Amino acid sequence: MTHLDAQSSSNEAQTMKIAGYFTQTYFQPGIPILLSGQLGAGKTYFTKGIAQALGISSHEVISPSFALINEYHGPVYILNHMDFYRLENWQEVEQLGIEEYLTSHSFTVIEWGERFLAHFPPPYFVVKLTETNEKNRLIEIFYQDYEK
């Protein structure tokens, strides 16, 4: 896995700005974005930043903890926002029809996606949100390409 970038954030607005930068610089439609971080690390705010970069109101974006999947339609792309926290195995992920969401017309962000990292075929992005203290976060982006 290739480490692409690392940024520090001290508040939700910065986290959203970093997510927008990553969206414009690295993320591509059809390639899943797996978010990793403890509860409260900023995964949903990161997704709000992706939404803004795609022309979707960040106010629409809420955690999909109970719905499992929220879809937001922007002017060009769809943002699929998933939460795998309550899923116990890869079969439950497959039952969601994950392949149907990974299209050239959509960005798919998966909170707690790293729990099933071994099952995701490349390519994919992993974004780690690590609390460095009570207010600050280190946000790192990694990319797993096809095996060569």
Contacts of residue 55, Cβ cutoff 8 Å, sequence gap at least 6: 74, 75, 76
Q: For residue range 112-135, what is the model confidence (pLDDT) as tens digits?
A: 988 899 898 899 999 999 998 878
List, in order of start, the domains of the chain with CATH numbers.
11-81+123-131 (3.40.50.300)
Give the sign of the dihedral formed by CA 104, CA 106, CA 1, CA 26. positive
Q: For residue range 67-114, what is the model confidence (pLDDT) as tens digits?
A: 788 999 999 999 999 999 888 999 998 988 888 999 999 999 999 988
What is residue 34's three-state secondary structure? strand
Report if pTM > 0.75.
yes
d(CA 148, CA 142): 17
